A = this chain, B = another copy of it.
Amino acid sequence: MRWYFVAALLTLLTSSQGILTTLSQTNGRYRYDYATIPFLAEIFKLLVSSFLLWKEFQGSYPPRMTTEWKTVRLFPIPSIIYLIHNNVQFATLTFVDPSTYQIMGNLKIVTTGILFRLFLKRKLSNLQWMAIVLLAVGTTTSQVKGCGEATCDSIFSSPIQGYMLGLLSACLSALAGVYTEYLMKKNNDSLYWQNVQLYTFGAIFNMLRLVWDDFRLGFYKGPWWQRLFNGYTLTTWLVVLNLGSSGLLVSWLMKYADNIVKVYSTSMAMLLTMILSIYLFSFQPTIQLFLGIIICMMSVHMYFAPPQILIDMPSSSKTAPDTLKDVVVE
């Protein structure tokens, strides 16, 4: 499996996620408890990974597995970062409106690049840095509110705390991604064994979230396990399977590709969702969506194309820029 095939598949699944989630609503509202979705997705990923790990045991080479506590104890950390991130996200939304929040979410692309450089010591060329910034600029451009759209809050009018929390949120989200990549590449352990550890903790933390909601709401709907599948339809199950499958692809990318590839996949998915929404939900296309798509396409080409292809000039012209730069008159 080549990484770009996995990345393209992740784009399709992430894009379907937005569309399926919208389709799973009845009259614009969820008839089920949305918090059950990530919990069941973790369970699904855990089952799939356990099965694949078991298959590896049947093979001629048993899977490499590090089982000492020193390593295992690192696997709950991504879940803990996501837990903090969710709370920061909640706090941010008390200061800024949802569209400003969405715009600020694109900062995550740049913070991922920075943490990727700082923590994983991975170096990027000047052009690749520019490509990352352009990707963030392109996704932001596509999200700029059109002339005459309903809500019309200025992006610059929120209190400073909102922007600080938005930045913190972008850093935490990037940190979770970069830390997961570090974990997956730390040793040559079987991907499925690493997944089993990751998703076991993921399932536990998501279950704690359901328990916490029960306590917060005083059990008035009954305990979480009794209402787990309440209001579930076929579409809801597709949302769970889709989220779980995209999670498995992300794990694969973290081990065999990297965070930047993942960021490109999910950014492309955001644009694809907007394009599909034009047809599915009669979303009004804007010129800024069109511009955003061009910018992101350029960014992909800049980041992934072999550098030599980018800078090579058809022969005979090599001298032109030099004569241009060296001309001195008077």
Contact = CB atoms under 8 A, between A and B. Distances in A.
Interface of A: 1-3, 103, 122-127, 130, 133-134, 137, 140-141, 144-149, 152, 155-156, 256-258, 261, 285, 287-288, 291, 294-295, 298, 301-302, 305, 307-314, 316-317, 320, 324-325, 327-330
Contact of A122 (B146, B298, B317): B317
Contact of A291 (B141, B308, B329): B141
Contact of A103 (B3, B141, B148, B287): B287
B298 A134 contact: yes
22 contacts: A2-B327, A2-B328, A3-B327, A103-B287, A123-B313, A125-B311, A126-B309, A126-B310, A126-B312, A127-B127, A130-B301, A130-B310, A140-B287, A140-B291, A144-B144, A145-B146, A156-B287, A256-B327, A258-B324, A261-B324, A308-B311, A310-B311
B311 A133 contact: no
Contact of A320 (B123, B147, B152): B123
A302 B148 contact: no
B328 A291 contact: no
